[in-house]
């Protein structure tokens, strides 16, 4: 026996389904932005600025959810989460990409860039911009470079002036072959640890030292568990803001354009803030008086440069001599 639905009731069902479909269609696209540092760092503030600009540019079309301080995924899991689609945007440090492309190791070579201005020039150059798309075959799309700051050496020893002062010490490093080679070349023992584990490792003596920008040292209170911080400026801790290339390419054109514009604004904001915060936090660390800030002479810096120079030769084939030459040229512009 056929069941007949009265015409009015059938019409009501159709209208309800139509409203339901329309409501679903109007749901904003959720953009989860996960990172591993504190909100008061340049990256933390940049992520919040991106949320503000994206939601203002695309009202009702996107909702950006920011998860800081490894509350969603830690160092070891965030890349996997991005590729699986569990998050849409992350901003790992440039040291994290060597398993996807060896060319990005250019940013880990010690004393590659004389200052942040030189780094800016290289990243804005055609060679630097090409690197943003160097991992598309692996499902990763680079959106921008974000600064944190130049790295300083710190240790639990009273003396940190010359390269020989860290010989035999255990240093925390990010997961990077270049950084591992850097410390081995200096006679130290590199230890790969997630960022969230560094404070306790320094506090308990699991490692003796680390390399970080001033903003990380202050926000994570590393200066409270280190005796000396030497102003080495030996490398940059920068990030690449990345997304899943399949997800990105599948966005409506207007949404993608709006997110690109928001990312450009957030990048400008974050990089300006990075310089301000690092200057401020260096002063705060000095005022706290818990760690000695060691100023190095030009002769001391020259000794560090010379000590780590063999690392360049070791990785030149992987990175490419031409790319190294272009990066070095940014120092003379």
Please tell me the predicted confidence (pLDDT) of residue 9: 52
Q: What digits encode the pLDDT tens for the residues 162-219?
A: 999 999 999 999 989 999 999 999 999 999 998 889 999 999 999 999 999 998 999 8
pTM of the model: 0.85
Q: What digits encode the pLDDT tens for the residues 257-282?
A: 999 999 999 999 999 999 999 999 99
Please tell me the predicted confidence (pLDDT) of residue 7: 52
Q: Is the pLDDT of residue 29 over 80?
A: yes
Cβ pair 150, 238 in contact under 8 A: no
- Mean of the pLDDT values across residues 27-47? 92
- Mean of the pLDDT values across residues 218-239? 96
Please tell me the predicted confidence (pLDDT) of residue 146: 97
Tell me the fold of 29-332. D-Maltodextrin-Binding Protein; domain 2 (3.40.190)
- Mean of the pLDDT values across residues 137-151? 96
- Mean of the pLDDT values across residues 219-237? 96
Residues contacting 198, CB < 8 A, separation 6+: 172, 207, 210, 220, 222
The SS3 call for residue 41 is coil
- Count of CB atoms situated within 10 Å of the CB of 17: 10
The Cα–Cα gap between 141 and 246 comes to 9
Residues contacting 113, CB < 8 A, separation 6+: 119, 122, 236, 327, 330, 331
Q: What digits encode the pLDDT tens for the residues 42-78?
A: 899 999 999 999 999 999 999 999 999 889 998 789 9
- In this prediction, what percent of the chain has a pLDDT beyond 70? 92
Q: Is the pLDDT of residue 17 over 50?
A: no
The Cα–Cα gap between 165 and 188 comes to 9
Q: Is the pLDDT of residue 93 over 80?
A: yes
Q: What digits encode the pLDDT tens for the residues 123-135?
A: 999 999 999 999 9
Output the CA torsion 223→114→322→97 (10° steps).
Answer: 20
- Mean of the pLDDT values across residues 287-316? 96
Q: Sort residue 221 into left (φ over 0), alpha (ψ -120 to 50) or beta.
A: left
Tell me the pLDDT of the chain averaged across its residues: 92
Please tell me the predicted confidence (pLDDT) of residue 38: 81
Domain boundaries, the chain: 29-332
Please tell me the predicted confidence (pLDDT) of residue 18: 47
Please tell me the predicted confidence (pLDDT) of residue 21: 44
Q: Is the pLDDT of residue 25 over 60?
A: no
Q: What digits encode the pLDDT tens for the residues 100-113?
A: 999 999 999 999 99
Laid out side by side, the sheet with 62-67 consists of 62-67, 29-34, 89-90, 236-244, 140-150
Number of C-alpha atoms within 13 angstroms, CB side, residue 75? 18
Q: Is the pLDDT of residue 251 over 70?
A: yes
Please tell me the predicted confidence (pLDDT) of residue 12: 52
């Amino acid at each position: 026996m056929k069941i007949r639905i009265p015409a009015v009731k059938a019409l009501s069902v159709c209208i309800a389904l139509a409203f339901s479909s329309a409501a679903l269609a109007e749901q904003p696209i959720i953009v989860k932005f996960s990172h591993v540092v504190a909100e008061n760092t340049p990256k933390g503030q940049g992520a919040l600025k991106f949320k503000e600009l994206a939601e203002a540019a695309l009202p009702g079309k996107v909702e950006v959810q920011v998860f800081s301080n490894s509350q969603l995924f830690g160092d070891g899991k965030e890349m996997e989460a991005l590729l699986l689609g569990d998050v849409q945007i992350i901003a790992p440090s440039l040291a994290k990409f060597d398993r996807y492309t060896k060319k990005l190791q250019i940013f880990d070579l010690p004393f590659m860039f004389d200052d942040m201005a030189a780094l800016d020039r290289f990243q804005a150059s055609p060679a630097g911009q090409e690197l943003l798309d160097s991992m598309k075959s692996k499902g990763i799309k680079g959106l921008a470079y974000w600064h944190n700051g130049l790295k300083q050496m710190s240790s639990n020893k009273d003396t940190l002036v010359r390269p020989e002062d860290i010989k035999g010490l255990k240093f925390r490093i990010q997961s990077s072959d270049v950084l591992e080679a850097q410390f081995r070349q200096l006679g130290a023992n590199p230890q790969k640890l997630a960022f969230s584990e560094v404070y306790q490792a320094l506090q308990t003596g699991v490692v003796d030292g680390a390399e970080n920008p001033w903003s990380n040292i202050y926000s994570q209170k590393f200066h409270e568990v280190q005796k000396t911080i030497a102003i080495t400026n030996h490398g940059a801790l920068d990030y690449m803001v990345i997304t899943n290339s399949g997800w990105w390419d599948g966005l409506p054109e207007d949404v993608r354009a709006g997110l690109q514009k928001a990312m450009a604004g957030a990048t400008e904001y974050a990089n300006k803030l990075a310089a301000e915060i690092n200057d401020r936090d260096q002063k705060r660390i000095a005022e706290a008086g818990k760690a000695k800030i060691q100023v190095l002479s030009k002769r001391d810096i020259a000794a560090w440069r010379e000590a780590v120079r063999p690392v360049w030769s070791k990785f030149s084939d992987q990175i490419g001599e031409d790319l190294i030459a272009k990066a070095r040229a940014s120092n003379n512009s």
